[in-house]
Amino acid sequence: MVKPKKKVAVIGLWHLGCTVAVSLASKGYKVFGIDFESKAIGELNRGILPLFEPGLEELTKRQLRKGNLSFTNDFKNIKKCDYVVIAYDTPVDNKDRPDLNIVLKAFGRIKKFIKQDGLLIVMSQVPAGTCRKFYQTLQKSKKKAEVAYNPENVRLGNAISTYLDADRQIIGLSSAKTKSLIKKFYSFYKKPLLFMSLESAELVKHSINAFLATSVSFINQIADLSEKLRADISEVVKGLKSDSRIGKKAFLSPGLGFAGGTLGRDLKVLNLLASKYGVALPLIK
């Protein structure tokens, strides 16, 4: 007898959500891509994506033909699913603060329809403390679903492989029970799963981007000094990356600084959290 496919609802259908939905379908899941926008749903079901990502449109059409993938604005499909993924690309306001309105709106629908003892996997970029609130809300309901935080790490232009073949997956757990559920979800994934608390996983995401932002600022300052000394910054970078404590993949490319976006968002979140809890973070102020 053929074993029925596990079903996943992926909520949010822009770059992150489309990548995750199509990638999971390619691994044999029955995937429902769900969002609020009706026009986009119709186009997605014809294999027309709202963005360009190499290889994603072809993979989408293939999974649609196989019947592994469908798109809808009916959140009731969550009732059929073993796993629910929030995968919105969280927008930021004009001060680089994350705007969680769409994520919270989606969670409002999810909590109505998620299965008893189901698993909610949050991949969207959210401030530390958000997933614990989701978990507490679900635990107070009759559903008592678990929550995992699995921060996204997909890269524009290489999204499919950076998700399916990532060096590791960071997994924040709401309880001991969550661990076995997320292991089943990632049964196809053969690289390390790094388990930690929800708060630790959220802070990892903020800290990675803060570290990268610091690296950008650092190497640009060294480039300014290099110019005055008539040193070659490309040679300096080569020397830095040759040190195993820094490494060849270090984020050390001098040029224009960053302004807002992903890096700015996480710097803003860290500074807001530091202010809330009375912690000084002068390095990233």
Domains delineated in the chain: 7-198 (3.40.50.720), 204-284 (1.10.1040.10)
Q: How would DSSP label each residue in 167-229?
A: S-EEEEESSHHHHHHHHHHTTT--S-EEEEEHHHHHHHHHHHHHHHHHHHHHHHHHHHHHHHH
Of 94-98, 202-206, 210-214, minimum mean pLDDT range: 94-98
pTM here is: 0.92
Which residues are part of a known binding site for NAD(+)? 35, 90
- For the stretch 64-102, pLDDT in tens is 999 999 999 999 999 999 999 999 999 888 888 889 999
Neighbouring-strand partners of residue 70: 32
Neighbouring-strand partners of residue 194: 170
- For the stretch 159-169, pLDDT in tens is 999 999 999 99
- For the stretch 35-62, pLDDT in tens is 998 889 999 999 999 999 999 999 999 9
Which residues are part of a known binding site for substrate? 205, 251-255
Which residues are part of a known binding site? 35, 90, 205, 251-255
Query: What per-residue string of b and e applies to 125-136 under the rule 16 or more CB within 10 Å gives b?
Result: bbbbebbbebbe
156 or 170, greater pLDDT:
170
pLDDT at residue 159 in the model: 95
